[in-house]
Chains A and B, each alone.
Chain A
């Protein structure tokens, strides 16, 4: 898959020196982390929690099924073993238990919605690149297609005239459409009118 903007630079595994780079890195990475967690929960039906403290001391948490249940479960671990023995279910029962938990229709719906949106976004990005190419090709062919910065005064004046012409024609064209629609509407209303009156001849 062609990803023009995703460069993979080898970063040294130690604290970032530049504070603003650090903040940017945090902001991007922590939502990526939650995304990974959310996907894992959906795909594998696991339950988990991630707690992150930002460089500005704000806390961000992701918890499935919820932040509190996982924390509670973890802290209770330190109690005698029989407390979590019921988690050692036979594999088949565990799977159906997971599927039941997963059958959270709201999440399913949202995941589907997200997938659709991402696909649409991808398509629009592709269209954008295609339009860029068309523009580039056009700008290389005719003088009046060049960016305005490249044109001289005389050329600009000529372009201005062409544009005003176009503006004129657009107004006329729009006018035509509106008139045509109004005429259609009048016709339809007349027809409806005569029908409603019990067919008492054509109106007008």
Chain B
């Protein structure tokens, strides 16, 4: 069956609409049948169309009446819990799709930031073109990676404290940050910050509130005295 992208709107061409109706009705009835058989459940379908006086139904009149009767036995309060019309159904779809979209965007942002991080690390990219939100996200990622590295080092030391390190290939040049090499990641868009909530990197926030804070716990390559705060 050819898969064409059909626009979700009323088909104004009469014959096209009729053809679509026939095809889809057949598919729908088949699907109700499958669902009922595979899951061993009661189901029914009633379709009113301009093409027939009588509605198209599944499974048959007796079956439909049985299902309706079963439905009517349910108390009023219970019934309306899962009753949907087109509007409420599509609304539900919109909500669900929105959530999926947000999740995917967040995931993509993390992946993108990982690439930025490695590019900056190897001097293929420069941090000079990053915006403040980007830098914040980068900072969080670097922190997380540092944690992972430390954890990994610890676990390796526990396993065999005397083990010589695996033969490492030649060290890269120390070309970290601030380089004039061509900007590879200039397509990092200034999107909204990742919604990290309580996971906001403490050192970054501390710094933002009090830039002259000295105890940021930086490594052996600290750059002091600070060019902007020479008195610190």
Contact = CB atoms under 8 A, between A and B. Distances in A.
Given A16-B38, A124-B101, A128-B111, A32 B31 contact: yes
Given A50-B44, A114-B93, A117-B97, A174 B135 contact: yes
A15 B120 CA distance: 56
Contacts, number: 349
A131 B108 contact: yes
Interface in B138-191: 138-139, 142-143, 145-146, 148-150, 152-153, 156-157, 163, 165-169, 171-172, 174, 176-178
A128 B108 CA distance: 6
B221 interface: yes
B146 A164 contact: yes
A58 B49 CA distance: 28
A118 B138 contact: no
A175 B35 contact: no
Contacts of A51: 42-45, 67-68, 71
Contact of A142 (B31, B48, B172, B221): B172
B45 to A, nearest CB: 5
B53 A84 contact: yes
Contact of A36 (B11, B27, B71, B153): B27
B50 A98 contact: yes
B156 A153 contact: yes
A32 B31 CA distance: 9
Contacts of B150: 160
Interface string A66-89: 110011011101000000100111
A150 to B, nearest CB: 9
Given A22-B38, A74-B55, A166 B117 contact: yes
Nearest to A37: B28
A70 B128 contact: no
Contacts of B55: 74, 77
List 3 tightest A-B contacts by C-beta distance, closest first. A154-B165, A152-B166, A169-B177
25 contacts: A13-B34, A16-B38, A16-B40, A22-B40, A59-B82, A60-B82, A66-B85, A91-B50, A98-B50, A111-B90, A112-B8, A124-B105, A142-B122, A144-B122, A149-B152, A153-B166, A160-B146, A163-B142, A164-B218, A166-B127, A167-B142, A167-B146, A173-B128, A177-B135, A178-B208
Interface of B: 3, 6-12, 14, 17, 20-21, 24-25, 27-28, 31-32, 34-35, 37-50, 53-55, 64, 67-68, 70-71, 74, 78-79, 81-87, 89-91, 93-94, 97-98, 100-101, 104-105, 107-108, 111-112, 114-115, 117-118, 120-122, 127-128, 130-132, 135-136, 138-139, 142-143, 145-146, 148-150, 152-153, 156-157, 163, 165-169, 171-172, 174, 176-178, 204, 207-208, 211, 216, 218-223, 228
Interface of A: 1, 11, 13-16, 22, 25-26, 29-30, 32-55, 58-67, 70-71, 73-75, 77, 84, 87-89, 91, 94-95, 98-99, 102, 104, 106-108, 110-115, 117-118, 120-121, 124-125, 127-128, 131-132, 134-135, 138, 142-145, 148-149, 151-175, 177-179
